[in-house]
Amino acid sequence: MPRPLSDDLFVLDVPFRVGGLMDLGGRMTVIRLPDGGLWVHSPVKLEATVRQAVDALGPVRFLVAPNVMHHLAMGDWAAAYPSARVLAPPGLRKKRPDLRIDVELSDVVDVGQSPTIEQLLTHGIPKLEEFVFLHRPSRTLLLTDVAFNIHETSSWLTRTYLKLGGAYGRLAPTSHLKSMVKDKAALRAWRDRVLQWDFDRVVPCHGQVLERGGREALRDAFAWL
């Protein structure tokens, strides 16, 4: 069941493994907009119980693929909610020509979902095309793959991989993410813009929700830039 983080912010945690060995965990975030409609970030597998729980929160208005990696369940959600607008980075259209995409994300504050949500492309990592989002009312930053916050896991492979890259037990980008960076100056400018946002909580798709100290944690996570 989705658990509330604030009156209009909910998360649903699900198991997620890469290659059957690396346990990263997954998370979908649901924001209830001022009109009562739902904005669904990084939809997880659409099981009957998930759909029932989401429908109980309100009508689904927007389905958000936050980068070109988080799209596996989007087709099922788009089919189940034909009136919802599918938002995705431009590169996903080429990767998933079968997927209905209604709006290509860009560095525009409002593409129709709500003035309560701000968005920004993570510049400097073109193969990822990740957009991060700020939910202003709850002062919450949503991240997907640009940084994890995994503090515990039963997978020795996950622990070893993250520890070797200095990304275990803290909010931090993985070594793989760092290897994808093509323009450090652009990524540094992105970091500085995000740090100007008013947020305290950070909700990553992989790892624990960081309830307090999010801005400081993000600054530390990208201090290597």
pLDDT at residue 109, as a whole number? 56
Q: Give residue 110's pLDDT band: very low, low, confident or very high (50, 70, 90).
A: low
- Give CA–CA dist 132/134, Å, rounded: 7
pLDDT at residue 186, as a whole number? 98
Over residues 204-224, the mean pLDDT reads 97
Q: Report whether pLDDT(193) > 80.
A: yes
pLDDT at residue 111, as a whole number? 65
pLDDT at residue 154, as a whole number? 83
Q: Report whether pLDDT(64) > 80.
A: yes
Q: Work out the number of other CB atoms within 10 angstroms of the CB of residue 79.
A: 10
Mean pLDDT across the chain, nearest whole number? 94
pLDDT at residue 23, as a whole number? 82
Q: Which of 129, 127, 118 is nearest to 65 (CA)?
A: 129
- Give CA–CA dist 126/85, Å, rounded: 24
Q: Which of 2, 7, 10 is nearest to 203 (CA)?
A: 10
Note whether 130 and 142 are within 8 A (CB).
Answer: no
- Contacts of residue 223, defined as CB under 8 A and 6 or more positions apart, other chains included, come to none
DSSP state of 175: H
CA distances from 90 to 11, 44, 61, 72 (A): 26, 21, 20, 16
pLDDT at residue 24, as a whole number? 87
Is the pTM value of this prediction over 0.85?
Answer: yes
Please give the domain boundaries of the chain with CATH numbers for all domains: 3-221 (3.60.15.10)
pLDDT at residue 195, as a whole number? 98
8-18 pLDDT, tens digit per residue, is 999 999 988 87
